[in-house]
Structure 1
Amino acid sequence: MDNLGIHVSWLWLVAGVLLCAAEAVVPGMFLLWIGIAALATGLVLAVFAFSLPWTLVLFGILTIVSLLLGRKFYGSRDVEGDRPFLNRRADALVGRTFILTEAIRQGEGRINVDDSPWRVRGPDMPAGTKIKVTAVEDAMVLLVEQA
């Protein structure tokens, strides 16, 4: 009990609920874990009585544990989505076949993919040759071989 006649655990529980509710307004998934730690601190204080310094140490430890568990279970999701190559267009071309629009001379040439020209590297071949993309180099150069 504090001087107002309110058990300290209630203050921690209310603070935890407010922090969890504030997560709806503040983006970042950070207040949620602190709110969960405050709720856990309130539950522990409902059973055991600690002095203020030990309560703050308990809250600190529970915050770290909550953050680590949250990161492990929530942050480890690898969301692929319905467009996995959205920011890696070149990787989506590996394995596909195209027609050379510009002959490969001295190891370099060009193809058209939809409406975009792409640089390609591979063995010398004349324009019009059917090629297959085997890999991506430097994020914008396609490595090719004859299909």
Structure 2
Amino acid sequence: MADMFASLGTWNWLIFGLILMGLELLAPGVFLFWLGLAAFLVGTLSFVIDPTWQMQILMFAVFAVAAVPLWRRVARAKPGASNSPFLNKRADALVGRVFTLEKPIVDGTGTVRIDDTIWRVAGPDAPAGSRVKVVKADGASLTVAVA
């Protein structure tokens, strides 16, 4: 076993790092990537300095432990602006738009057709064909005002 550790070299660490990063593609969870990065760093540093096998194991352990807070910081960073902010919030995308009532609003409820969907609307009484503006979206119901 000691001979195996003593034979650890630069290329072993680089290959080990690439294998771990490749395994991350097969079993995603982001954990193996950081271990692979730690092994890759040990291999890269082994090109510059010629550490003993004990020092290589220590460097790998330090880099692997340091990768955890680094990953937590990266994961908590604010995500950038989404190119589709209304994904899974279809009703919110309708706020501010004007539509024609399909069925009149009677006693506060009616319907409006938007594309291929009929939406329930709530608002002041208005006859069918009236133009209404969506002022609020609440799940599958829209609150409207006469436009």
Q: 1:54 to 1:29 in 2, by over 3 A?
A: closer
Unpaired stretches in structure 2, ≥5 consecutive residues: none
Please tell me whether the aligned partners of residues 35 and 64 of structure 2 are also in contact (alpha carbons under 8 angstroms): no
Deviation of the 1:112 alpha carbon: 0.9
Deviation of the 1:47 alpha carbon: 5.7
What is the CA–CA distance in structure 1 between the aligned matches of 2:44 and 2:56, rounded to whole Å? Answer: 15
Equivalent in the alignment of 2:75: 71
Equivalent in the alignment of 1:106: 107
Letter in 2 for 1:76: P
Please tell me whether the aligned partners of residues 118 and 140 of structure 1 are also in contact (alpha carbons under 8 angstroms): yes
Please tell me whether the aligned partners of residues 37 and 66 of structure 1 are also in contact (alpha carbons under 8 angstroms): no
Q: 1:60 to 1:131 in 2, by over 3 A?
A: same
Q: 1:111 to 1:95 in 2, by over 3 A?
A: same
Cα RMSD (Å) of the superposition?
Answer: 3.2
Please tell me whether the aligned partners of residues 41 and 58 of structure 1 are also in contact (alpha carbons under 8 angstroms): no
Equivalent in the alignment of 2:141: 141
TM-score normalised by structure 2 residue count = 0.72
- Count matched residues: 142
Answer with 47-56 or 6-15: which moved more: 47-56
What is the CA–CA distance in structure 2 between the aligned matches of 1:99 and 1:117, rounded to whole Å? Answer: 11
Give the one of 60, 65, 69 matched to 1:61.
65
Show CA shifts across 1:80-137 (max 9, x none): 25xx534322222211111111111222111111222100011122222110111201
What is the CA–CA distance in structure 1 between the aligned matches of 2:60 and 2:144, rounded to whole Å? Answer: 62
Give % identity: 35
State the secondary structure of the residue aligned to 1:123.
coil
TM-score normalised by structure 1 residue count = 0.72
Please tell me whether the aligned partners of residues 38 and 60 of structure 2 are also in contact (alpha carbons under 8 angstroms): no
Q: 1:12 to 1:72 in 2, by over 3 A?
A: farther
Equivalent in the alignment of 2:39: 38
Unpaired stretches in structure 1, ≥5 consecutive residues: none
> More helix per residue: 1 or 2?
2
What is the CA–CA distance in structure 2 between the aligned matches of 1:76 and 1:48, rounded to whole Å? Answer: 39
Q: 1:136 to 1:116 in 2, by over 3 A?
A: same
